[in-house]
Amino acid sequence: MALSSTQAAEISAQREETTLTRREVAPALEEMLYKAFPILDHGFIRVIDYMGTDSAIVQAARVSYGKGTRKVNEDAGLINYLMRHRHTTPFEMCEIKFHIKLPIFIARQWIRHRTANVNEYSGRYSIMDKEFYIPAPEQLAAQSQSNRQGRGDTLEGAEAARVLDILKNDATQVYTHYEEMLNEDIVGNVVDESKTGLARELARMNLTLNYYTQWYWKIDLQNLMHFLSLRADSHAQYEIRVYAEKMLEIVKAWVPLTHSAFMDYRVGGAALSSKGLAIVKRMIGGEKITQEQSGLSKGEWRELMKTLELPEAA
């Protein structure tokens, strides 16, 4: 990911500014503010602003008037309790705002999480940049035979080379046609008033989904954790997972006590159905149970055995 000299200068100027505040801040996150962390080939993620820390969660839970004099381990205990018992509203007291640059096809998957405030780059008003996502060779994979949403074996050799050529050539060609339809001076986003072209809101429809878009995305901590529990999971699509993994690092710098509880109870924990829990209790009692005896479907049984790290068949 290469920022333009203008973009780099703007970010540098932002990072040089400081403002006094009476609000509690997260020092580790302050060091990250405005910095662009590269993601994929042209994408990035930046923290633009945030509100609240672990102390704000504790304060909201206790409805206290200030930070208080309790020890860190007491705050950690309360946050663990809130996370463990799914008392979610105190976590909604913290918010964070990101600036994200991402491929359009990932943005369309991302926007399914409807619990954030979003403002996206306008292709009606501005000219889209000539930047498109091309997967690294190790990310080129065939369709999974067992999962309609997943990937199978990695493509290799001539087959992989052909796919990369198609992606590059198609993306390059559509931008050439985009420029032609606009009939504008693309360099510097400067419009030559003597030229007449197709409206930007129409010309953009020809661009492929691997072109990059940008948005500001503001979300509270509770909904962010829900997003991360799905998108930072190993089963999530790689191209959105790498953004989520960087966000997990940011959450750790922002609210370390909450991050620890989240990793313990949400990411590292497991939820069991009443039938699954009954089976575990029977197993602890020494009973040997097969899938046919369990009352679970094959899929449910397979998931339970994976959670317990046991073979599917005795």
pLDDT tens-digit readout, 203-222: 999 999 999 999 999 999 99
* C-alpha triplet 40, 46, 52: angle, nearest 5°: 140
The conformation of residue 51, written as its DSSP 8-state character, comes to E
Q: Is 22 left (phi over 0), alpha (psi -120 to 50) or beta?
A: alpha
φ, ψ (nearest 5 deg) of residue 242: -65, -30
Give one DSSP letter per residue of 91-137, joined into a string: GGG-EEEEEEEEEHHHHHHHTT--SSEEEE--TTTSPPPS-B----G
- CATH of range 5-133+210-267; options 3.40.1110.10, 3.30.1360.170, 3.40.50.1370, 1.10.340.30: 3.30.1360.170
Residues 29-38 pLDDT 10s: 999 999 999 9
pLDDT at residue 258 in the model: 98
Between β-strands 117-120 and 141-143, what pairing exists: parallel, antiparallel or unpaired?
Answer: unpaired
pLDDT at residue 285 in the model: 93
pLDDT at residue 189 in the model: 54
Neighbours of 179 (CB within 10 A): 16
pLDDT at residue 196 in the model: 72
Which residues neighbour 281 within 8 Å (Cβ) at sequence distance 6 or greater? none
Q: Please give the mean pLDDT across all residues of the chain.
A: 91
pLDDT at residue 145 in the model: 64
pLDDT at residue 194 in the model: 61
pLDDT in tens, the chain (314 residues): 668 888 889 999 989 988 889 889 999 999 999 999 999 999 999 999 999 999 999 999 998 766 665 677 899 999 999 999 999 999 999 999 999 999 999 999 999 999 999 999 999 999 999 999 999 988 888 776 666 666 667 888 899 899 999 999 999 999 999 999 998 765 555 556 566 789 999 999 999 999 999 999 999 999 999 999 999 998 899 999 999 999 999 999 999 999 999 999 999 999 899 999 999 999 999 999 999 999 999 999 999 999 999 998 75
Active site residues: 231
The helix-helix angle for 221-231 and 238-254 (nearest 10°) equals 140
Q: Three-state DSSP class for 39?
A: strand
Q: Where are the domains of the chain?
A: 5-133+210-267, 274-308
